[in-house]
Structure 1
Amino acid sequence: MGGAERRRIVAGVSGSLSNLAALHVAADEARRTGAELLAVLAWEPPGGELAHRRSVFPSPMADLRHDAGERLLAALRTAFGDTGPGVPFQGVVARGAAGRALVETADRADDFLVIGAGCRGRVRRALFPSVARYCVAHAACPVLAVPPSPLESELASVHRRVSLRLPLDARELTDGRS
């Protein structure tokens, strides 16, 4: 490959609010260091690989991969608009569990992996393994887990109140200022 390879900032992409914040942190780090940004969206067939293989009418893998690519593009548009992140970047659609796909992509010692830590309650922690924890335990490069914004939990609270049709005082949204 002639010449030195550019340092890479690898960012996991899922489209969640905390993940979009992590994507911005990754783009800022790429800008600051002159690195290339790799935005990685991991995907698996619905229900997992085993369920897909045993399905009577499995969805074609090409369609599933295409859908994952569309989700990646949508997340990048949500994060950066039509102008993009403002740094050299590649979108990567990786088949497999998110933690493993991210660790396998960020496989160089000089890579820097940025992931959203996300909000995790007891039930969620019990049902779904932590991608951040997996990456920290298995990555061969430094990992930055970006904590969720406090606004994310406030937004979730408002969403719950609205969906349950509970009263909502708009002053609560502005820290009680009138």
Structure 2
Amino acid sequence: MSGHDASDTVRVVVGVSGSLGSVSALRRATALAHRLGAELWPVLAWEPPGGDPAARRSPAADLLVAEWQRLAKQRLAAVLDEIFATAGPGVPMHAVIVRGAPGRALVATADREDDVLVVGAGRRGLQRAFSGRVSRHCLAHAVCPVLAVPPSPLESQLLSFHRRNTWHLRMDTRGL
């Protein structure tokens, strides 16, 4: 930390869910943390299936919450391991799992003015109206700068191939 108190260290907070958009955001956040000499804070937010009211009504609520939290921690570790493998990100990293809605959890974690919050910007096309809620929430409510990373061209191509397979349409494979 080079003589700085932990509260003085610049943090690059990034939302991670395992989606292609979050992987693009994680890669961009890692590069930004390198340039800034900052800590990388990958955050995975989770909510109980059916929301908190459904979890509270369950007779084994405490056991279920512990299991869901364990699964969230396992998912974050798997994503980080897949992206960084054994080499690591090359910057100090503090991985966090937070119980709550993703947008609120990210804004609450990136709560200092000198933080930088990195989020995936959502999808393009027909699904646009139903995606991007997290990035919009972060852009509207964060106290720090927010970098919204657009989907990669590869993601658009994969979605196109997926749609074609779903509808059994012919694919032009000449360019592959």
- Scaled by the length of structure 2, the TM-score of the pair is 0.88
Aligned pairs, number? 171
Distance change >3 Å, CA 56–CA 125, structure 1 → 2: farther
Alignment match, 2:106:
102
CA shift for structure 1 position 31: 0.4
8 A Cα contact 1:12 1:116, kept in partner: yes
Fraction of identical pairs, as percent = 55
Q: How much does 1:12 deviate? A: 0.4
- Normalization by structure 1: what TM-score? 0.87
Give the aligned partner of residue 29 of structure 1: 32
Unaligned runs of 5+ in 2: none
Aligned equivalents of 1:3 and 1:152: distance in 2?
39
Q: Secondary structure at the match of 1:41?
A: strand
Asked whether the equivalents of residues 17 and 152 of structure 1 are also in contact (C-alpha less than 8 Å), the reply is yes
Q: Distance in 2 between matches of 1:161 and 1:155?
A: 10
Contact 2:11–2:33 (Cα < 8 Å) also in 1: yes
Q: In angstroms, what is the RMSD of aligned CA positions?
A: 2.0
Residue 7, structure 1, aligned to residue 5, structure 2: no
Give a deviation string over 1:130-177, Cα, whole Å, max 9, x none.
00000011101000000001221111111222244333232244xxxx
Q: Which residue of 2 aligns with 1:92?
A: 96
CA distance in 2, matches of 1:94, 1:158: 34
The 1:35–1:129 alpha-carbon spacing in structure 2 relative to 1, beyond 3 Å, is closer
Runs of 4+ in structure 1 off by over 6 angstroms are none
Alignment of 1:49-128 (within 5 A): 49-55=52-58, 58=61, 60-120=64-124, 125-126=129-130
Structure 1: segments with no counterpart, 5+ residues: 174-178
